[in-house]
Chain A
Amino acid sequence: MQVRAVIVLMSILAVFAVSGLCAAGSNLVIKGSTTVLPIGQKSAELFMKDHQDVNISVSGGGSGNGIKAIIDGTCDIAMASRFVKDKEVKLACEKGIYLVPHRVAIDCIVPVVHPSNPLNDIDLNTLKEIYRGNVTNWKALGGADKPIVAISRDTSSGTYEVWQEKVLQKERVMPRALLQASNGAVAQAVAGNPYAIGYVGIGYLNPYLKGLKVSGVVASPATALNGTYPISRALFMFTNGWPEGETMSYLNYLWSPNGQKMAEAEGFVPLY
């Protein structure tokens, strides 16, 4: 009985030792925005295939969390779908962290409705009135006599911030809007409700949603890059100081043609 206990203990220790050895080799920790997460995950996979000795761990949690993590020193790269705020810059300076922003892709935010909705095109002003609560019925837009259910992101999301700046013109969204916690949740909510309207990043469009044109402009890489599509934003990765070593090679991979092609495959707009 005692011998068996010793054997069990030894095998547990061996498992820990092996996993500890595997963790040796350099580690890259990337945390932050759920919008940039698909880029981070896919690029990490491809990068690790080419560089066997580098271990990259990617996790979501929000732009705010990512920037906080890099200021705390618990991650190497922070993904963010917005720029740093003044308070974060102040905190970083206090801790001696020098945040360097790097654009990695461009994101379009597309208004979406259920596929059964006859609407195809909408303009910024109508979107604003819907989300302010002034337009409440689809028949005002030529649809059925049904109430409009406006689905949004909660107010601390980077996606919402861009929406608020570009569509709502800095005004508040109405309290009756259903605030969901992620792009995926918004997509799920709109796909399940024929009277809903919402907005998601272009990478989250799927066959269960119908993306609307904004003032006749379709959301696409071309229109985002030449500026005709109004609701677009840059996606950032922040590093502490100018990147070196593995961080530099990872970011170089992201900026290389292969990396940008990968970002496009994930549904974002490449930088070039």
Chain B
Amino acid sequence: MYQGERAIRHPGFTGSFGCDSFHGAEHTMKKTMIQVPSFESANLVDRAANADAPALGDAWTGRGGYRRRTRESAIRLIFLLTALFSITALGLILFFLFREGVPVFKIVSLQDFLLGREWYPTDDPPALGIFPLIIGSIAVITVSCIGAVPLAVLTAIFIAEIAGPRMKEILKPVVELLASLPSVVIGFIGMVVVAPFLQRTFDIPTGLNLLNASLMLGIMTVPTICSISEDAMYAVPRELREASLALGATQWETIFRVVLPASLSGIATAVILGISRAIGETMVVLMVAGGAAIVPTSLLDPVRPMPASIAAEMGEAPFQSEHYHALFAIAIVLFLITFAFNLIADQISHKYKQVGSATL
């Protein structure tokens, strides 16, 4: 049975070996099965007999080996090119960004641009000071993180450590669904539902303000931070948890003093990624932040973060006018801030990295 089956499955079977002696079937088996390099068949006669089905140890030599070598090199080259594509794309974007943004510094000095308080780019001569825009961005990010980071990390702790399997099954997809909501939908809800609500509740002039934008941005960053933190906590090995519990710690003490510090680098990365995402988020702040280019003095003041300015004004700025270059210069500032955040994230994740099995 066994020999026959083996023989019949071989595509080149001609029937002469089929029901023959055991030795014939064995030879067929040797032809069809993967050749594990064995010391018995290391002599030249056997190698010649099996020339068109080379042993693994023969992978890089001989005629068959040449084909395999070039194929491997070609595949490696393809992967290298696909990776280079990302680098090229980033390089091109940076090139155009700087090429279109730098000319604005011919008409305004860097200090006036970054620290000037008035943004009237269509005047003649234009007033190009983006300080209120920068402060608006920073304010929105800070307030949204104050709310979103604890919420996200605690949710991640719940999903990773405390929730039972059924709760986990419900919570994880729901959080990821929150992440997949389009930002324009969130902005629209903020404008139509949350703004009048805030106005009525706090009796303020307008519901399109810093608080509204921070709430909506918080909703968007919570799933990002939560997913990555949760992965970081999963990666903490069981030995650490079990050791802590064995020493008599409660579950809460284990989570707070063992799991959290172990996954700190992952959580820090998650937070910084969430912040980077929020700082560039355009549709939400365009619709709900209010659009007043002032430095906010209270939580309920309208603000105008940088991406909102760019999105609102780019459509009407005449091509290659000072306004156009100024908007690109704002984009450069935005890029540099995000880049700085990425560097900080890298630094933190290296500094707190756990060596050994808890590495994320």
Q: Indicate whether A and B interact.
A: yes
Cβ-defined contact, A85 with B206, below 8 A: no
* Interchain CB contact under 8 A, A156 and B317: yes
**B316 contact from A149, A156, A189, A196, Cβ within 8 A:** A156
A175/B118 contact (C-beta < 8 A), A154-B313, A192-B192 known: yes
Q: Closest Cβ of chain A: how far from B170's Cβ, in Å? A: 34
Bound-state Cα–Cα, A244 to B294, Å: 49
Given A175-B293, A177-B292, A192-B196, A65 contacting B206 (CB threshold 8 A) = no
- B-facing residues in A40-61 (Cβ within 8 Å): 60-61
- A85: chain B residues within 8 A (beta carbon): 318
Query: Are B316 and A179 in touch, CB under 8 angstroms?
Result: no
Chain B residues with CB under 8 Å of A147's CB are 205
Q: How many A-B pairs fall under 8 Å by CB? A: 105
Contact B313 A149 (CB under 8 A): no
Q: Choose the segment among B58-66, B174-182, B319-327, B334-342 that binds chain A (4+ C-beta atoms closer than 8 Å).
A: B319-327
| Contact, CB under 8 Å: B319 / A179 | no
Q: How far is the CB of B146 from chain A (nearest CB, A)?
A: 24
CB distance from A159 to the nearest CB of B (A): 10
Which partner residue on chain A sits nearest B199 by CB separation?
A193
Bound-state CA distance A68–B192 (Å) is 33
Asked if residues B291 and A179 are in contact (CB atoms below 8 Å), the reply is: yes
Shortest Cβ distance from B300 into chain A, in angstroms?
12
CB 8 Å contact bits of B300-333 with A (1 = contact, 0 = none): 0010100011011111111111010000000000
Contact status A195-B205, CB under 8 Å = yes
B120 → A minimal CB distance (Å): 6
B123 at interface by CB-CB < 8 Å: yes
A265 at interface, CB cutoff 8 A? no
* A63 lies within 8 A of chain B by Cβ: yes
How would residues 16 to 44 of chain A score, 1 for a CB under 8 Å from any chain B CB and 0 otherwise? 00000000000000000010000000000
CA distance A180 to B286 in the complex (A): 8
Q: Counting CB contacts under 8 A, is B278 at the interface?
A: no
Q: A175-B132, A188-B191, A193-B196 are in contact. Are A181 and B286 (CB under 8 A)?
A: yes
B316-A178 in contact (CB<8A): no
B4 interface residue, CB < 8 Å from A? no
How would residues 166 to 183 of chain A score, 1 for a CB under 8 Å from any chain B CB and 0 otherwise? 000000100111111100
The distance in angstroms between the C-alpha atoms of A155 and B292, with both chains bound, is 12
Q: Which of A146, A158, A180, A188 contacts B192 (CB 8 A)?
A: A188
B148 within 8 A of A: no
Contact of A155 among B120, B196, B290, B321 (CB under 8 A): B120
Please determine whether A62 and B315 come into contact, CB atoms closer than 8 angstroms: yes
Q: Establish whether residues A64 and B286, one from each chain, have CB atoms under 8 Å apart when the complex forms.
A: no
Is A234 positioned at the interface, with any CB of B under 8 Å from its CB?
no
User: Out of B291, B317, B319, which one reaches A91, CB within 8 Å?
Assistant: B319
In angstroms, Cα B106 to Cα A171, docked, is: 25
Distance (Å) between the CB of A139 and the closest chain B CB? 14
Residues of A119-146 contacting chain B, CB below 8 A: 146
The verdict on A266 contacting chain B, using a C-beta distance below 8 Å, is no
Q: Which residues of A contact B195 (CB under 8 A)?
A: 192-193
Docked Cα-Cα span, A156 to B316, in Å, equals: 5
Given A178-B302, A188-B192, do A64 and B123 touch, yes or no (CB 8 Å)? no
| Complex interface: chain A residues within 8 A of B199 (CB) | 192-193
In the complex, are the beta carbons of B205 and A156 less than 8 A apart? no
Minimal beta-carbon separation of A163 from chain B (angstroms): 12
Q: What residue of chain A has the Cβ atom nearest to residue B322's Cβ? A: A87
Contact assessment for A61 and B291 in the assembled complex, using a CB-CB cutoff below 8 Å: no
Chain A nearest CB from B305 CB (Å) reads: 12
Contacts of A196 in B (CB 8 A): 206
A110 at the interface (CB under 8 A from B): no
Query: A155 CA to B314 CA in the complex, in Å?
Result: 11
| Interchain CB contact (< 8 A) of B304 among A61, A88, A179 | A179
Chain B's closest residue to A146 (CB) is B205
Asked whether, in the complex, the Cβ of A91 is within 8 Å of the Cβ of B316, the reply is no
Is A185's CB within 8 Å of the partner chain B?
yes
Contact A180 B206, beta carbon cutoff 8 Å: no
Instruction: Evaluate contact between A175 and B286: CB separation under 8 angstroms.
Output: no
Pairwise interchain contact B291-A178, C-beta atoms closer than 8 A: yes
* A-B pairs with beta carbons under 8 Å apart, 9 shown: A63-B316, A147-B205, A154-B316, A161-B122, A172-B120, A172-B123, A181-B311, A188-B191, A192-B191
Sorted nearest first, the 4 A-B pairs with minimum C-beta distance are A62-B315, A156-B316, A179-B291, A64-B316
Given contacts A62-B314, A85-B318, A181-B311, 16 further A-B contacts (CB under 8 A): A64-B318, A64-B319, A71-B319, A88-B319, A156-B316, A156-B317, A156-B323, A176-B292, A177-B292, A178-B206, A178-B208, A179-B292, A180-B312, A181-B312, A189-B208, A193-B206
